Amino acid sequence: MMSDEAMSGGEGAGLPFPDGVVERHLRLGEDSGWEFKRVEFRGAKVASRQRNSWADSIVAFANADGGVLLLGVTDAGVVAGMSREQLDAVEQTVREVSADAVKPPVRVQTHRREHEGRAFLLVAVPRGDAQHDGPGGALLRVGAAKVPMSSDERLRLAQRRGQARFVGFDHQPVPATGFSTLEEDLWRPLLSDTGLADPLVGLARLNLLTRDDAGEERASVAGVLMCTRQPAELLPTAVISAVRYRGADRASGQLDAQDIDGPLDRQVRDALLFVQRNMRVSARKTPAREDLPEYSLAAVFEAVVNAVVHRDYSMHASRTRLSMFSDRLELCSPGSLPNSLSIDSMSERQATRNELLTSVFGRLDASGIDAAGRSYFMERRGDGVTIIRRETQALTGKLPTWRLLDGDELCLTVPAAPPPADPATPVVAVRCDGAPLGGATVLALFSNKTWKRAVTDERGEAQLELHSAELPMTVFVASEGCAGHVEQGWVPTERALAVELAAVPTGGSAVFAESTGYLPGLAGRLNPIRDTHDRTYLYADNIAINDGQQQPVRFAPGAEQLRLEDADGQVLLVTVTAIEGRSSLLDYRRP
């Protein structure tokens, strides 16, 4: 079993094999888990004579405990660099070699990486579940070398891998562990009174302790996952990478991120807290006030439990990924569906990859987790998918969806519930830096240049009293300490409005509803104007613009920063972000 620190923290944490780990191996050289290969090209293609060598390296790693192949790196650890087209060719060749030249095929994972601006390909080879053969026969990785397997080694490997096919990966022994690896306060709640009388026997009966091929007592994979403080120290991918994004895609930027580690039950609790912390909670303004969360926490609880219990922990370069977007939540776990299960049959059939983990979760106390709705983390098998579907549809009116990515990653998508929109008094929800924002100004502008203004309450909600909610309008949102936001073409009867603002520690934003206004810290009035010829310019009372430029000063909305200085020497850098009629939105910061 590959035990490298590949998924530890540091620079690049969250990536399979962070940059710091790769750089350390480039410095130190090859070993039993890492091999470097120079790549030769013939025109735009990879030179064919290298294929057999690559196949043999994959075979040797798969017959051992897995490993990493760095393509485009010399034996001395020097990255030669490749173009985008060359990377495409190398990746295609790796796929062909691992499928055609390795028997039985090995499903490798490829990752494009850079070192000092030069590109190379990282190939993660998993521990095989059978004996693998390549052009050079059955090979085994020993230190930094590939050596032919003896007949005895072939027999032992076939026996071990044959047994592994019938015993789940969660039963497998973890090298360099033992009874002392397991933390008493974590295993004690899992044992009966009889088991507590002799913990060694009790843990062995639960298969949290097992024996390796040499007869040595070892912690099992399940034992490490459930009964150690930091399972990732021994199983580097036993982590949930959680990210809250600003918008509907990953390019929108991150509002919050956390690597969730620890024993699996704590990972479930912490993942639930991450979602609670980052989801929007709206309300209907009734006398009793009805909270309307963005996601059903009962559905999220079931989804996270399923993800950590049923994922494939033998995949050495893949973490569980929890991603929150403005319109959905995605939870992706490594591994295909087990035992011929299909996406269509998940709610009808029961199958599990990790029987031992499933059994242990059935003994874990879930008290204190309101979203669980039961006494234990898992009770009746097969209910999880049904609960996720039922809870999500009840809250959002939509069903969640599952899909397989590349055949080896199962992704669940849960749609977000939009904030409720009352046709007469719609609510605008505002958050800044991931938290509800009170005291923000919300200005709704109609096409006839009239406007309505509201201020968000402590829950970050502003209720607009509108004479009509059928027509499109522009909305300005502003607050000290946060960047402003412009929403164009909002029709309250068609959709609710939730706004995410970015934090600005040295400034903020402001709305001038009717021509003029003041900015915090400046002793003078500002008057941004858009005239009948669609020209925009700024007047300022007792304030110098751009070191005394003649007023009015022309500017381009949203694209030009103005330096304003008052008579007391106070300076702000100001951008007039938008002007609609006589109303304007300004962003400012202190230099």
Q: Considering Cα of 128, then 134, then 136, then 137, what sign does the dihedral take?
A: positive
User: What pLDDT, in 10s, does the model give residues 543-555?
Assistant: 999 999 999 999 9
Q: Any idea which residue has 């007469």 for tokens?
A: 424
DSSP H/E element including 244:
strand 240-245
Looking at residue 349, its pLDDT comes to: 66
Query: Which of 410, 383, 382, 584 is CA-nearest to residue 484?
Result: 584
In whole angstroms, give the CA distance from residue 578 to residue 451.
15
The answer, yes or no, to whether residue 11 has pLDDT greater than 60, is no
CA 584 vs CA 478, 517, 527, 559, 566: distances in Å: 11, 10, 9, 14, 21
Q: What are phi and psi of 317, to 5 degrees?
A: -120, 20
**Quick check: bond before 419 cis, omega within 30?**
no
Contact between 400 and 251 (Cβ < 8 Å): no
User: How crowded is residue 89: how many other Cβ atoms within 10 Å of its Cβ?
Assistant: 17
pLDDT band at 264 (very low <50, low <70, confident <90, very high): very high
The answer, yes or no, to whether residue 414 has pLDDT greater than 90, is yes
In whole angstroms, give the CA distance from residue 71 to residue 67.
13
In whole angstroms, give the CA distance from residue 126 to residue 159.
18
Radius of gyration of the chain, Cα coordinates, nearest whole angstrom: 30
Full-prediction pTM beyond 0.85? no
User: Mean pLDDT for the chain?
Assistant: 87
The answer, yes or no, to whether residue 123 has pLDDT greater than 70, is yes
In whole angstroms, give the CA distance from residue 462 to residue 430.
8
Helix axes 264-278, 297-310, angle to 10 degrees: 150
Looking at residue 347, its pLDDT comes to: 66
Q: In this prediction, what percent of the chain has a pLDDT beyond 90?
A: 60
In whole angstroms, give the CA distance from residue 269 to residue 238.
15
Domains of the chain from N-terminus onward: 1-166 (3.30.950.30), 167-235 (no CATH), 240-415 (3.30.565.60), 427-589 (2.60.40.1120)
The answer, yes or no, to whether residue 79 has pLDDT greater than 60, is yes
User: What pLDDT, in 10s, does the model give residues 46-60?
Assistant: 998 899 999 999 999
More confident residue, 167 or 15: 167
HEC per residue, 488-534: EEECCCCCCEEEEECEEEEEEEEEECCCCECCCCCCCCEEEEECCCC
The answer, yes or no, to whether residue 289 has pLDDT greater than 60, is no
User: What pLDDT, in 10s, does the model give residues 64-75?
Assistant: 888 999 999 999
The answer, yes or no, to whether residue 261 has pLDDT greater than 70, is yes
- Helices then strands, counting H and E runs in the chain, come out as 12, 33
Listed in sequence order, the residues at least 6 apart from 476 whose beta carbon sits closer than 8 Å to its beta carbon are 441, 442, 443, 445, 484, 485, 486, 511, 578, 580, 583, 585
Query: Which of 243, 216, 174 is CA-nearest to residue 2?
Result: 174
User: How crowded is residue 469: how many other Cβ atoms within 10 Å of its Cβ?
Assistant: 19
User: How crowded is residue 256: how many other Cβ atoms within 10 Å of its Cβ?
Assistant: 16
- 52 by Cβ neighbours in 10 Å (0-12 / 13-18 / 19+) ranks as middle
Looking at residue 350, its pLDDT comes to: 66
User: What pLDDT, in 10s, does the model give residues 359-378?
Assistant: 899 888 888 888 888 888 98
- Look at strands 118-125 and 67-71 and give their pairing: antiparallel
Tallying the residues shown for the chain, one arrives at: 591
CA 398 vs CA 306, 379, 494: distances in Å: 20, 26, 16
What string of DSSP letters covers 335-400? S--STT--TTTTTT----S-HHHHHHHTTSB-TT-GGG-SSBS--STTHHHHHHHHHHHHHHSS--
- Look at strands 583-589 and 503-512 and give their pairing: antiparallel
Q: Taking residues 160-166, what's their average pLDDT?
A: 56
In whole angstroms, give the CA distance from residue 106 to residue 134.
11
The answer, yes or no, to whether residue 22 has pLDDT greater than 80, is yes
